[in-house]
Structure 1
Amino acid sequence: MSFTSTANKEISDLQQLIEAATDIPSALHAIAAAYPGQVVFSTSFSWEDQVITHFIFSNQLPIEVFTLDTGRMFPETYSTWSSTLQKYRQPITPYYPDATSLQAFVGEKGPNNFYESVDNRKQCCHIRKVEPLQRALRNKKVWITGIRAAHSPNRHDMTQVEWDGSNNLVKYHPLLNWDTDELTAFVHNNNIPYNPLHDRGFVSIGCAPCTRAIKPGEDFRAGRWWWEDADKKECGLHVHAN
């Protein structure tokens, strides 16, 4: 079977499971049953990710929840992580940067070299996020994410199920078409722990040195890598490869 036919079949199979489900928890349950031990969800403890974590943990679904701890996160993010563990009493697996690679990178270029060039920033993202993600996704079949179309212009044309050629698996974005009001209402109505930075104008929260609150009227992603041109604002985690 060719790469294209394999990808198309995986996408089709997943779409059928989702379409047959009555809601997101049911879809997640069906996916977990169809791919036992091969479904993972990545959380950064954002509004979106907390909602999906709630679906997984509240329904005791056999889906591994993991996070990428870059070592440069906000204290509020770590507090949200702790609050989530306290509420649901279920594990969240952390993945860390390779110590040797990170030590060499920071030793050569300094701790804040990502401000100096796009290449440096992308190298930092690769060491702290992309390579750990690759380890987390190794030998998995389905990667669940909290991506929404509102996150950035290049995500408006995304589909809820897509093939990730970089990691050789299918991605499922259950909240792709949720709007922000729907999202925040669900969080509050279900008493889900959330990052308090969201109340201070931070809408997309990553590493502390690379994230700021957005100003009224600014784009959703304006607070990420604000010193760079808008068309460069991706870290390499989500590469569209349909």
Structure 2
Amino acid sequence: MRSKVWDSFDEVISDIPDGATIVVGGFGLCGIPEKSIEALKNKGTKNLTIVSNNCGVDDWGLGLLLANKQIKKMIASYVGENKIFEQQFLNGELEVELTPQGTLAERIRAGGAGIPGFYTATGVGTPIAEGKEAKIFDGKEYLLERAIKGDFALVKAWKADKLGNLVFRKTSRNFNPIAATAGKVTIAEVEELVEVGELNPDEIHTPSIYVQRVVLGQNYQKRIERLTVQSVGGER
């Protein structure tokens, strides 16, 4: 059996084809698989459908793929930090499916769990409901939401062992654990790679069964998506 540990980011994403659907972990710029995204940009893969909470910023994260016009469709819950996203959408260059954040998380989770769909009250009576099946349960209306499954999933973890067990650090956990379950092929980039048995089993967030590839990254940037400062004594 081939080792799950790959030598480079260019190699680990090399078979992602044009037109693929990719589920991407992270929230804002926190916990994003930045090295995998950079490698995908350099490869030039096009017509991608990206499923992620948001699309990064203009010059970082998934925003790099947008700027390079590699994304055909974006399924997301928030797009407010990206001017390129706005412009491409207004120009008709980008298809956008906005999904309430909790619904998006559950659609991804359902895809990883093998559940084809579920009913939710979120979005009833809004444009989100257009074209969706609705049912009444206990006198209340609910919408049918379909699960999301990706051809690939890209996630960022703090630590992994060589079997692909993953540990996420603090808020970078966000969408990463559910994204990891929802890819037919899940690629985990990690800051630290350890031997099998070194991780405390009680601290593992994503079991290795969900992870097909692991690649070690270095020199990660700790970027701030939006800097907010407070005046102190009249000075800033």
Q: Which has the larger radius of gyration?
A: 2
Whose helix fraction is larger, Structure 1's or Structure 2's?
Answer: 1
Q: TM-score, normalised by structure 1?
A: 0.38
Whose strand fraction is larger, Structure 1's or Structure 2's?
Answer: 2
Q: TM-score, normalised by structure 2?
A: 0.38
